[in-house]
Amino acid sequence: MIRSILYIRLKQAGRVATGLGLGRCLFLAGVSGFLAFLLFLQTAAFPNSLYAAGIYLAVIFLLQLNRPDKQFLKITFIHHKVIFLAEYLLLLIPLLICLAYHQLYQLLTATFVIAFLITHVDYKARHRSMNTMIQRVIPASCFEWKSGVRTSLVLMGVVWVTGMYTSFFIASVPVVLFFLGILPLGFYERGEPVQMVLAYEMGAVSFILYKIKMQVVLFTILSMPLILAFCIFHPDIWYIPVLEFLVLITSQGYLVLVKYAFYQPNTKPGGAQVFGLLGTIGLIIPILIPLVWLLSVRFYFKSVSNLNFYLDDYN
């Protein structure tokens, strides 16, 4: 059973790779190699190895929470948890090798145990019909924000209010801005039905520029009070949140471009997920930011060409 499932996974990975093309696959292999090298360096010393393992396992945990095939596997296979464990251990191979190489056997054992425990997590987030004034204020065309705010309004609200109240601390606003910059990255994962794209009645270029504009406007409205509060308390270093805001704005634009570069109606395309994740990693590892900018240019042309198929009659 596990062998056949893993064989199917291999074929699925092959299809995603074919969809991405050789160039992008090589590029992603390079980025993955770089990340594996960072992991190897970070796991050399104890406190950092703990953080690295923690982040790695957090990603696996999020995967378990959000994987769309969970219900299918539960219905189809009695021993679905064994399948989860086999898959997660495969994904954990780089971490396990690093921990074994650096002889961190306690952490290695803990990683196995936590991976086993993760397979037992069966939480499904409830969809909430929260209709607040905020959803009504967001324009109808920004349905990603309406949807995203509905699921994470409480979290966003708590973080934002905390940021405002603690803005006299020098680190508070930059940290909150970073967090608010990462949250909308999840809003653009899924492709909407084609009717929703056509409802704008715009050509591909106008559509893309409009979507980026609205993303920038909404994120600016969210961030500006925090930046102003920071500038009031720390006028001598006003440029820190401003520069951070500019970097975050480019990531927001990148996200829109990735979504429509790989857009297919009603799906979560593999390419968009992979390159969207790269955008998030780019915020965490600043060395990758110029790469995100370069890719933004590439994805602008790709998204226009992709959307032209659907929107050619509006050009």
List contacts with another protein (CB under 8 A).
127-129, 131, 135, 140-141, 143-144, 146-148, 150-151, 190, 192-196, 198-201, 265-266, 309-310, 312-314
Cβ nearer to another protein, comparing 48 with 267: 267
CB 244 within 8 A of CB 288: no
C-alpha to C-alpha distances, 141 to 137, 138, 175, 197, 242, nearest whole angstrom: 11, 8, 29, 10, 27
Of 178 and 200, CB closest to another protein? 200
170 vs 148: CA distance, rounded Å: 29
Residue type, 258: V
What radius of gyration do the chain's Cα atoms show?
A: 21
Nearer Cβ to another protein (42/147): 147
Q: How far is the CB of 196 from another protein (least distance, A)?
A: 6
Q: How many CA atoms lie less than 13 Å away from 262 in the CB half-sphere?
A: 24
CB nearer to another protein: pick between 80 and 302:
302
What's phi and psi for 311, nearest 5 deg? Answer: -110, 15
> How far is residue 47's CA from residue 44's CA, in Å, rounded to a whole number?
9
In angstroms, what is the minimal distance from the CB of 313 to another protein?
A: 4
* Smallest gap from residue 178 Cβ to another protein (A): 24
Least Cβ distance, residue 127 to another protein (angstroms): 4
Based on CB atoms, which residue is closest to another protein, 48 or 132? 132
| CB count in 10 Å sphere of residue 49 | 19
Q: How far is the CB of 129 from another protein (least distance, A)?
A: 5
Query: Least distance (Å) from another protein to the CB of residue 193?
Result: 6
Tell me which residue has tokens 């990340």: 35
Residue with tokens 């720390």: 234
Q: What is the rounded distance in angstroms from the CA atom of residue 196 to the CA atom of residue 292?
A: 27
DSSP string, 218-238: HHHHHHHHHHHHHHHH-GGGT
Nearer of residues 142 and 249 to another protein, judged by Cβ: 142
User: Cβ of residue 37: shortest distance to another protein, in angstroms?
Assistant: 37
122 or 201: whose CB is closer to another protein? Answer: 201
